[in-house]
């Protein structure tokens, strides 16, 4: 075990600069990861409150807690928030924090671009969220179907914020994806071959490709919508011959890969938690990696299963139905591999493990309902009903969120240097588990009984009352669970037991360095000889049967790499002679310029042409000038 004394003295960020300016200018992937984490948890609260209002309105027939218009804004913002401002950024928090640590790197490939991604996300999040306080939040659904979202049927400012907000958030995701792809390809420590990467890094790698291939499609679709709304083009104008199905196709070509963007990082996290707490290597590592790639690839060939109801014809229906059933296979393979990982292991059940097992169970339910609506005849019964709502909450809440909670419990000690309270963690898990099933399981029934999605109220006597009341009750339970988590999070951060560098006896590189890690991560770059370097070091019998080999001698020399070891000393980068990127405000400024530029279009919609031009040109000039300053100043 690590020497706890050294770590204790340096628990939570002692001696480091932690003022506001240091956060605004940081280019350290770990600090940026923490920024993502806090920001996304904040939006989780916002999205949760929206959900609570939605469910309160639906608790009983014909309630009028909120108006129909407010309801539209609430469900639109709930979906948009949870997808783009919560689950993706929570995943990004882990990408940032973990990828460099897991591959033995000192930072990401482009640290300033990384800061830029965060600031575009943070400011873009405000851009799309603040309008709700003025009653002009987006109100056309998280999928923004045209022409409902176009100028004719959505003439207010509401969908302006949605179109532009998503465009802004796309910039953030794309920039981050280029960065992580480069990081994973090019910054792995010597010996860290692709097939030795920790499974979280593998799944993240796949996700970055999904991002760079799926986001351009919605970018194009959003540009069309933007042009229709602001410049009077005809993309989605039916009278001019425009086809509303164009939006639907483009949106779902993006949308289905997007759901894998949401789930694969969570899969990656539990693939770290399960072997660690089973004290046994991941079962079928290769199959896990390849099935991740398969899911990513097939994910581009199933989109029209969201559109069976529009009548695509028997050929298209059959093809998309088959491909959808096919994609269930690699997904199912993962479930079996996790179970096989636990089988015969010496199991331990900290909160992270409970959530990981919870994911396996809950995602399976969501996967099964997914395969149910992969069949067009059966989907026609289910589409646009609460049955689909049940499906995607089992995969998103039961899958993605449970996986992320698992990851938070697992990595909290690495990030803060302190352990989370296990007793509260157990409470959180069970409240969450019961709450989520109470909320979402009844939706299968209300959906099958014909309750449509996106209605703000309903009449009594259709057999939906009990199920809705259960769902609302479950939601309140989830809020209690959330409060327990928040309490645990903040109290543990201040007073939790000191963790040491490797509290779980985990096998991968991030656990070989102090908690929290020093800014340079690794004083000496480790040379990796197997998939489980720390188990090789501490419990070699666990990994004796696995492949071990030394890498290229030239590479090892070039990287000044030394055999994998535990680093316990804490010295500054300067003492060690490690060049570090300098903090800079420029990425923030470029992000700000972009937001101002986009805001100009809102002013344009308000009919103030000169002011709009001034805003756009001003924002654009500010962006270009900041970018120029950024590119001409050295990194280190």
Residues annotated catalytic, as ranges: 78, 107, 142, 172-173, 256, 258, 260, 271, 305-306, 331, 334, 453
Contact (Cβ atoms closer than 8 angstroms) between residue 548 and residue 563: no
Contact (Cβ atoms closer than 8 angstroms) between residue 523 and residue 567: yes
Q: Assess 81 for contact with ligand HEM (CB under 6 A).
A: no
User: Quick one: which of 95, 235, 260, 387 contacts another protein (CB under 8 A)?
Assistant: 235
- How far is it, in rounded angstroms, from Cα 373 to Cα 388? 8
| 308 token code pair | 């069976």
Binds 174: which of ligand HEM, Cu ion, another protein, none (CB < 5-8 Å by kind):
another protein
Q: Which stretch binds another protein (CB under 8 A): 327-335, 340-348, 480-488, 555-563?
A: 555-563
Tell me which residue of 243, 245, 262, 263 sits closest to 253, measured CA to CA.
245
Query: Using CB under 6 A as the criterion, what x/- string covers residues 141-160 for binding ligand HEM?
Result: --x-----------------
Tell me which residue of 404, 400, 415, 394 sits closest to 352, measured CA to CA.
404
- From residue 212, how far is each of 179, 205, 207, 257 by CA, in Å? 11, 11, 9, 11
User: Quick one: which of 237, 395, 594, 597 contacts ligand HEM (CB under 6 A)?
Assistant: 395
Contact (Cβ atoms closer than 8 angstroms) between residue 255 and residue 153: no
Nearer to Cu ion (CB atom), residue 211 or residue 616? 211
The separation between CA 299 and the C-alpha centre of its own chain, rounded to angstroms, equals 17
Q: Which stretch binds another protein (CB under 8 A): 8-16, 223-231, 375-383, 479-487?
A: 223-231
User: Quick one: which of 9, 194, 322, 368 contacts another protein (CB under 8 A)?
Assistant: 194
Please state, as a whole number, how many other Cβ atoms lie within 10 Å of the Cβ of residue 342: 18
Nearer to another protein (CB atom), residue 297 or residue 441? 297
| 451 token code pair | 């309750």
Q: How many residues bind another protein (CB under 8 A)?
A: 60
Q: Assess 607 for contact with another protein (CB under 8 A).
A: no
Q: How is residue 192 annotated by DSSP?
A: -
Q: Assess 301 for contact with another protein (CB under 8 A).
A: yes
Query: Using CB under 8 A as the criterion, what x/- string covers residues 88-117 for binding another protein?
Result: ---------------------xx-------
What string of DSSP letters covers 455-506? -S---SSSS-HHHHHHHHHHHHHHHHHHHHHHHHHHHHHHHPPB--S-TT--
Contact (Cβ atoms closer than 8 angstroms) between residue 534 and residue 507: yes
How many helices, marked H, and strands, marked E, lie in the chain? 23, 2
Binds 157: which of ligand HEM, another protein, Cu ion, none (CB < 5-8 Å by kind):
none
Nearer to another protein (CB atom), residue 316 or residue 603? 316
| 93 token code pair | 């928090």
Nearer to another protein (CB atom), residue 50 or residue 107? 107
User: Quick one: which of 51, 146, 263, 304 contacts another protein (CB under 8 A)?
Assistant: 304
Tell me which residue of 380, 387, 362, 378 sits closest to 446, measured CA to CA.
387
For the chain, the straight-line distance linking the first and the last C-alpha, in angstroms and rounded, comes to 35
Q: Assess 399 for contact with ligand HEM (CB under 6 A).
A: yes
Kindly give, in sequence order, each residue whose CB lies less than 8 Å from that of residue 310, ignoring residues fewer than 6 positions away.
Answer: 245, 248
Contact (Cβ atoms closer than 8 angstroms) between residue 420 and residue 351: yes
Q: Assess 391 for contact with Cu ion (CB under 5 A).
A: no
Q: Which stretch binds another protein (CB under 8 A): 228-236, 262-270, 327-335, 442-450?
A: 228-236
- How far is it, in rounded angstroms, from Cα 39 to Cα 244? 35
Tell me which residue of 391, 478, 390, 486 sits closest to 436, measured CA to CA.
478
User: Quick one: which of 216, 284, 473, 505 contacts another protein (CB under 8 A)?
Assistant: 216
Kindly give, in sequence order, each residue whose CB lies less than 8 Å from that of residue 270, ignoring residues fewer than 6 positions away.
Answer: 338, 355, 356, 359, 360, 403, 406, 407
Q: Which stretch binds another protein (CB under 8 A): 74-82, 245-253, 582-590, 609-617?
A: 245-253
Contact (Cβ atoms closer than 8 angstroms) between residue 76 and residue 139: yes
Which phi and psi angles does 421 have, rounded to 5°? Answer: -70, 125
**Distance in Å, CB of 559 to ligand HEM, minimum:** 37
- From residue 415, how far is each of 29, 35, 96, 119, 623 by CA, in Å? 12, 12, 12, 21, 33
Considering only residues 401 through 460, tell me which ones interact with another protein, judged by CB under 8 A: none
Nearer to another protein (CB atom), residue 40 or residue 214? 214
Kindly give, in sequence order, each residue whose CB lies less than 8 Å from that of residue 302, ignoring residues fewer than 6 positions away.
Answer: 256, 320, 323, 324, 327
Q: Assess 373 for contact with Cu ion (CB under 5 A).
A: no
**Distance in Å, CB of 520 to another protein, minimum:** 13
User: Quick one: which of 106, 229, 256, 334 contacts Cu ion (CB under 5 A)?
Assistant: 256
Q: Assess 579 for contact with another protein (CB under 8 A).
A: yes
Q: Assess 331 for contact with ligand HEM (CB under 6 A).
A: yes
| 227 token code pair | 């042009």
Tell me which residue of 122, 100, 123 sits closest to 111, measured CA to CA.
100
Nearer to another protein (CB atom), residue 317 or residue 510? 317
**Distance in Å, CB of 143 to ligand HEM, minimum:** 5
User: Quick one: which of 185, 455, 611, 613 contacts another protein (CB under 8 A)?
Assistant: 185
- How far is it, in rounded angstroms, from Cα 510 to Cα 532? 11
Nearer to Cu ion (CB atom), residue 130 or residue 329? 329
Binds 625: which of ligand HEM, Cu ion, another protein, none (CB < 5-8 Å by kind):
none
Q: Assess 256 for contact with another protein (CB under 8 A).
A: no
Considering only residues 204 through 263, tell me which ones interact with ligand HEM, judged by CB under 6 A: 259, 262-263
**Distance in Å, CB of 305 to Cu ion, minimum:** 6
Considering only residues 584 through 613, tell me which ones interact with Cu ion, judged by CB under 5 A: none
Ramachandran region, residue 191 (left: φ > 0; alpha: ψ -120 to 50; beta: rest) = left
Binds 371: which of Cu ion, another protein, ligand HEM, none (CB < 5-8 Å by kind):
ligand HEM
Binds 434: which of another protein, Cu ion, ligand HEM, none (CB < 5-8 Å by kind):
none
| 367 token code pair | 């996967």
Residues near another protein, by CB under 8 A: 109-110, 174, 177-179, 181-182, 185-190, 192-195, 209, 212-217, 219-221, 223-224, 227, 231-235, 239-243, 245-246, 249-250, 253, 297, 300-301, 304, 312, 316, 525, 552, 554-555, 558-560, 579
Residues near Cu ion, by CB under 5 A: 256
Residues near ligand HEM, by CB under 6 A: 143, 259, 262-263, 305-306, 324, 327-328, 331, 367, 370-371, 373-374, 379, 382-383, 388, 391-392, 395-396, 399-400
């Amino acid at each position: 075990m690590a020497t706890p004394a050294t770590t204790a003295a340096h628990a939570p960020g002692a001696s480091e600069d932690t003022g506001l300016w240091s956060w605004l200018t940081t280019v350290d992937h770990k600090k940026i990861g923490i920024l993502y984490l806090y920001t996304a948890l904040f939006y989780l609260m916002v999205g949760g409150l929206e959900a609570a209002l939605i469910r309160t309105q639906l608790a009983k027939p014909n309630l009028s807690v909120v108006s129909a218009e407010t309801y539209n804004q609430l469900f639109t913002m709930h979906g948009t928030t949870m997808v783009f401002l919560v689950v993706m950024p929570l995943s990004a928090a882990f990408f940032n924090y973990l990828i460099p640590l897991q591959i033995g790197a000192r930072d990401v490939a482009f640290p300033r671009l990384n800061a830029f991604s965060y600031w575009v996300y943070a400011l873009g999040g405000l851009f799309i969220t603040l309008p709700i306080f003025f009653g002009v939040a987006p109100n056309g659904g998280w999928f923004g179907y045209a022409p409902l979202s176009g100028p004719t049927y959505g003439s207010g400012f509401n969908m302006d914020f949605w179109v532009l907000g998503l465009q802004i958030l796309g910039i953030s995701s794309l920039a981050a994806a280029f960065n992580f792809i480069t990081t994973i390809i090019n910054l792995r420590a010597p010996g860290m071959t692709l097939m030795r990467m920790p499974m979280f890094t593998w799944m993240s790698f796949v996700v970055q490709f999904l991002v760079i291939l799926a986001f351009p499609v919605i970018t194009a679709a959003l540009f069309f919508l933007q042009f229709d709304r602001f410049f009077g083009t005809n993309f989605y104008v039916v009278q001019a011959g425009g086809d509303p199905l164009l939006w639907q196709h483009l949106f779902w070509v993006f949308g289905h890969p997007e759901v894998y963007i949401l789930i694969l990082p969570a899969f990656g996290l539990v693939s770290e938690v399960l072997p660690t707490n089973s004290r046994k290597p991941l079962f079928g590592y290769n199959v896990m990696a390849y099935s991740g790639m398969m899911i990513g690839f097939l994910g581009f060939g199933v989109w029209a299963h969201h559109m069976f109801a529009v009548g695509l014809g028997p050929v298209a229906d059959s093809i998309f139905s088959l491909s959808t059933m096919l994609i269930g296979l690699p997904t199912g393979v993962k479930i079996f591999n996790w179970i096989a990982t636990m089988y015969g292991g010496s199991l331990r059940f900290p909160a992270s493990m409970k959530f990981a097992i919870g994911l396996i169970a809950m995602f399976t339910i969501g996967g099964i309902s997914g395969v149910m609506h992969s069949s067009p005849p059966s989907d026609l019964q289910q589409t646009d009903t609460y049955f689909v709502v049940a499906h995607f909450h089992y995969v998103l809440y039961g899958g993605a969120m449970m996986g992320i909670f698992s990851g938070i419990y697992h990595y909290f000690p690495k990030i803060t240097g302190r352990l989370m309270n296990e007793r509260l963690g157990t409470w959180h898990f069970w409240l969450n588990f019961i709450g989520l099933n109470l909320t979402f399981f009844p939706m299968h029934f209300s959906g099958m009984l014909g309750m449509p999605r996106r209605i703000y109220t309903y009449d009594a006597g259709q057999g939906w009352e009990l199920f809705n009341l259960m769902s609302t009750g479950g939601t309140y339970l989830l809020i209690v669970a959330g409060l327990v988590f928040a309490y645990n999070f903040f109290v543990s951060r201040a007073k939790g037991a000191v963790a040491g560098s490797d509290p779980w006896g985990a096998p991968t590189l991030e656990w070989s360095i102090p908690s929290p890690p020093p800014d340079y991560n690794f004083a000496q770059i480790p040379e990796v000889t197997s998939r489980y370097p720390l188990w090789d070091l501490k419990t070699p019998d666990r990994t004796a049967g696995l492949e071990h080999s030394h890498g290229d001698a030239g590479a090892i020399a070039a990287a000044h790499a030394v055999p994998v070891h535990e680093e316990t000393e804490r010295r500054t980068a300067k003492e060690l002679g490690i060049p570090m990127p300098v903090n800079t405000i420029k990425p923030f400024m470029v992000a700000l310029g972009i937001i101002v530029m986009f805001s100009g279009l809102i002013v344009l919609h308000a009919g103030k042409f000169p002011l709009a031009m001034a805003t756009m040109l001003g924002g654009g000039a500010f962006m270009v000038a900041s970018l120029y300053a950024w590119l001409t100043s050295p990194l280190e």
